[in-house]
Amino acid sequence: MNLLERLNEPQLAAVTLPPQHALILAGAGSGKTRVLTTRLAWLISTGQVSPQGVLAVTFTNKAAKEMLARLSAMLPINVKGMWVGTFHGLCNRMLRAHYRDAGLPQLFQILDSADQLSAVKRMLKSLNVDDEKFPPRELCWFINAQKEAGLRPAAVEAWDDYTRKRVGLYEAYETQCQKEGVVDFAELLLRCYELLERNEPLRRHYQERFRHILVDEFQDTNKLQYRWLKLLAGEGAALFCVGDDDQSIYAFRGADVGNMRDFEREFKVANLIRLEQNYRSHGNILDAANAIIQNNPSRLGKNLWTEAGAGEPIRVHESYSDGDEARFIVEEVKALSNDGHARAEIALLYRSNAQSRALEHALFNAGIPYRVYGGLRFFERAEIKHALAYLRLIANPDDDTAFARVVNFPARGIGARTLEQLADAARTRGSSLHAAIADVQGAGGAKLAAFASLLVKLREAGQLPLPELVTHVLDLSALRTHYQNEKEGQERLANLDELVNAAINFVTEAGTVNTEGELSAELISFLAHAALEAGEHQAGEGDDALQLMTVHSAKGLEFNVVFICGLEEGLFPHENSLLEDKGQEEERRLMYVAVTRARQRLYLCHAQTRMLHGQTRYNLPSRFIDEIPAGLLKFLTARAGKSSYGAVSPGLTFDPTPRRRDGGGSGSGFRIGQTVMHAKFGLGVIVNAEGGGADARVQINFGNAGMKWLALSVAKLEPA
């Protein structure tokens, strides 16, 4: 077999480079893995290096296994024992071989993220440190961030008392880990770097051994990983780095896209090769991706192209609401399935995990099997299960499963010993856990009694309308407060807000009403609905199922048909990106990744209104849609005028007459811009309208009460 056959010109140039530093800019779908593996095979087969003289770094164990499998298919060699793996895997291997020099026991154990959190909690408890002032998760994040920056406690700058205390806790954590003979993930890399840095004979050994170092996904390296590579390369090794600065989307994990430019400058890289021919997508999709990403400054620069032809135009659909968006997608998926498209080759991508709820609900109602890739379905997420457990206890305080889930969440100091006493008491009297609380004495009994009082307060609110009840539970249970104190709690908070939206939608759809003086019938029905929706339509292994995922999860994957949902200002690009340095650039790279997942057909979906944080918000279409040349787009709905994104709160432009699906007016006698009065919401201004006759509805901005869609046949509106 000829290793070099079927390589295009830039791929051939990259594979057969002389032993010099090289940076390969590999665009999406350009055969990056093929180039890396073939380069490895070429070096070995031509006798330039032995299998043991190569170090290849990947970002996942899956990628490492795939590389070794491909290599063994190319060459008659035993790939076992080759230094191919992730940064953490290779550092672990090095530390195992030199554990004494590294100051570690021979059988040191590795802490995963859950183990690390547990270790930090134990340390805080042993030092009598208030875990509300110093939340364990936040402290884990702080410690890992310092390690990834290559900083031990003594080197961390602390300008205030709070930071000085955190540095002291970092030092205490290190002492505890050393005493117990354990290392966390961040420690693996830092300990290995320090070992090589201070031990010159060992460093020279590895520098002379590894004459060729190949790195995959170089744009995702952090500062310490890059320093580790530089240390290993020394003066003689050839660094062959493959990456795509346009797909750098992990800044929140510490990835530094600037490493690519630093590498080019520091190593005086003469070989910068661009892999621009794409083997995945049709031309229109690539032209759209190129047009979007060229708005980012400071790119190394490349332009994707294909021989596959232009293909279909990119379809743009504007919906009236997020519910309408989900219904449109469901109808399109049905049509695509009828046309012979496998559901497994159709992906629904969204910016935020919380967006999956509306999509899952529509798919559930339509009976379409789906799979949430790289995450849990909405009603299976931990924070949602916690909230539902509180709601279940309102409906039935004797629900032991729900009781056990939240009796000490958020933490109330109710320990395992107290819960054991409670379980014994419940067994003795043959009752539920809740009913046995009075039988537990002492401090533990007092804490259980306080929890029982909380349940009474929650139950008193059981007659509230369902959305208000859910909001009340989230606040009174302290679930919101708990996640607000977490460094990475924003996504969980967004999911809790989405639960309120789910309650609003459920009430609207189900039409249930409260019975005076009784527990909300809505609550009982909603809990049944949540249980059914959580348990149905999740596809089994091997089933032909629709794929749902965040854009971050989609990196590295490809599908025949892709829907990008929620393309609105504030959602995608995310509103947080306005506050972050180069945040907009990262969002644009994320959009570039999303677009290049599609092979044949791409849908861009956005909605005029969306339920966010329990309120209806009017949204402008994402700037990313306007960055795509109009000639590449096919608008499935009438397009509003282009928007300006320069202002933080851009003005809204409306047609002079209310819009409806058939293009006519609403016939309501009201006009857009008119001030009206509502008995409950007060004074408001009509900003949009749709439908006609009995179906006519208007969108009104009520100021304090927010934006509302009201049906004219029901709402009693008076001109103001």
Residues annotated as catalytic (active site), given as ranges: 32-33, 216-217, 247, 597
710: helix, strand or coil: strand
Q: Are 86 and 61 in contact (CB under 8 A)?
A: yes
Token reading at 517: 């003086």
Q: What is the 3-state secondary structure (H, E, C) of 252-287?
A: HHCCCCHHHHHHHHHCCCCEEEEECECCCCCHHHHH
Q: Are 285 and 572 in contact (CB under 8 A)?
A: no
Q: Where are the beta strands (DSSP E) in 455-568?
A: 546-550, 559-564
Task: Write the DSSP symbol of residue 209.
Answer: H
Round to whole Å and give the CA distance between 432 and 393. Answer: 12
Nearest residue to 49 via CA among 14, 19, 87, 81: 19
Q: Are 625 and 586 in contact (CB under 8 A)?
A: no
- The H or E element spanning position 405 is helix 400-406
Query: Which ranges of 8-160 would DSSP assign to H, the alpha helix?
Result: 9-15, 32-45, 61-74, 87-97, 113-126, 136-148
The rounded Cα 84 to chain-centroid distance in angstroms is: 28
The residue behind tokens 């005029």 is: 608
Token reading at 424: 């014994």
Give 111's strand partners. Answer: 184
Q: Are 419 and 407 in contact (CB under 8 A)?
A: yes
The rounded Cα 95 to chain-centroid distance in angstroms is: 32
Round to whole Å and give the CA distance between 474 and 482. Answer: 10
Round to whole Å and give the CA distance between 711 and 720. Answer: 18
Q: Are 251 and 284 in contact (CB under 8 A)?
A: no
369: helix, strand or coil: coil
Q: Are 432 and 504 in contact (CB under 8 A)?
A: no
